[in-house]
Amino acid sequence: MGFSLTKSEVTYVRPSQPTPLSLLELSVLDTSPALRNMVKTIHVYEKGGEMAAKIIKEALSEALVYYYPLAGRLKDSSDGKLLVDCSGEGIGFIEAEAECRLEDLNFFDGDQAIPKEQLLYGSKNRVGEEDPLLVIQVTKFTCGGFVMGLDFCHTICDGFSSARFTSTVAELARGVPHPSILPVWARESLRPKQRPSSNNLGPQAVPPPPPDPPPQDSGLREVCVDIPIETIERLKQKYIQSTGVPCTTFEAIAAQVWRYRARAIGMKENEVAELVFLANIRPFIKPPLPEGFYGNCFFPVDMSVNGATLARAGLDDAVNWIKGGKARLPDDVARWMEGHVDALIPKDLTYQTLFVVEWSRLGFENIDFGWGPPVHVAPVPYSHVIPACIFAFPRVPNKGVRLMTWCVRGDHHEAFAKLMRSLAND
């Protein structure tokens, strides 16, 4: 199902006041090659369409005075470092107008036949030296609502930080005189020690996120379900009654998805089932990072069990395996900061691995430009070649977790979809 859309050419929003012109070094985490791409999200608002583009554009210009590196460009130095050239060239901005109502498109909720890509900037993912680090498209609909599409360079910010920046823009759009949290670059705070040895990986060694996927079609099929808050609470209560200790929403739901996937794909005794996710490590950095730090600050957590054992496992065991992986995180981060990174680099992600992204706790759902928070927020994945599960938001007013998955091939799709529906209806 398509819809008619008229787009402006890309213009560039620059800081509203003069800002420093300089070259800034990125952190070790920022410079992972797998991050040099655009992360795409859409944010659907019921009101404000008539004024949204003008007000957001002006607030962006003000916000860039504080976040001036975002108005720059990436630069590959002659000695192999990746830098940010604070050139003040600006971020990309597109105004668009759709000839329909948001209701006609179900607020871009769930229907994959609706091309969400029209709400975003082009199809390019890898960020070159000439590309803006952020492009925003504001699309007005005839009902008076609008959709803000974000293309954010992952090299500069992780999800938490991009939500913080967007929240700052919203504060300024509402007339707040300055950001409630002032941004701080401080990328040097994430610089592991260099370990002297003959095979030293050096200070630029980094535990990267999953490697860039191969370009070929993996054949992974989508399954998307909403897990109501009541179901989540029942699962958490079941675990605490059995073990005497609480578990988080992430642990309970990730455990169920991991178990059900192992069953659906028929994992065998000679196969190893892996689970990988990226954890926020701000609480574990010593000395603590400044509150306004807005760089990448995550670390891979991975765990593995016998595939057939996982398929037979109950909720308690699967949650315990996840808790065990998380419990290692403080020590793993400390070892990484000391330079001992060799064993922490994740393996290649195969079909036996499930990569989970917890996107639902970043704060995007609360961002208010002056017309109320969004009624729908969703990531727009650009690649379906890694078996993945994203924790996102169900559409307002529903409470709970939306699971967006691309983690099974066609011959396993029906079995997995049936198990996921049973989870949603538990």
Alpha-carbon gap, residue 331 to 318, rounded angstroms: 22
Q: Is the dihedral of CA 272, 278, 282, 283 positive or negative?
A: negative
In eight-state DSSP terms, residue 269 is T
* Catalytic residue check, 376: no
340 classed as catalytic = no
Angle 181-185-191 from CA coordinates, rounded to 5°? 130
Q: Is residue 288 helix, strand or coil?
A: coil
Q: Of these residues, 154, 158, 226, 412, which one is catalytic?
A: 154
Q: Identify the burial level of 261 via C-beta atoms within 10 angstroms of its C-beta, where 0-12 means exposed, 13-18 middle and 19 or more buried.
A: buried
Q: How far apart are the first and last CA of the chain?
A: 32
Judge residue 294's burial from the number of C-beta atoms within 10 Å of its C-beta, 0-12 exposed, 13-18 middle, 19 or more buried: buried
Which residue bears the tokens 């000391």?
A: 338
For residue 330, give Cα distances in angstroms to 111, 160, 375: 40, 19, 36
Tokens representing 284 are: 């574990």
Of the candidates 393, 103, 423, which has an alpha carbon nearest to the alpha carbon of residue 258? 423
CA–CA separation, 133 vs 33, rounded Å? 15
Considering the candidates 85, 368, 384, 426, report the single residue annotated as catalytic.
Answer: 368
Burial 346-357 (b: 16+ CB within 10 A, else e): beebebbbbbbb
Which residues form the catalytic set? 154, 368
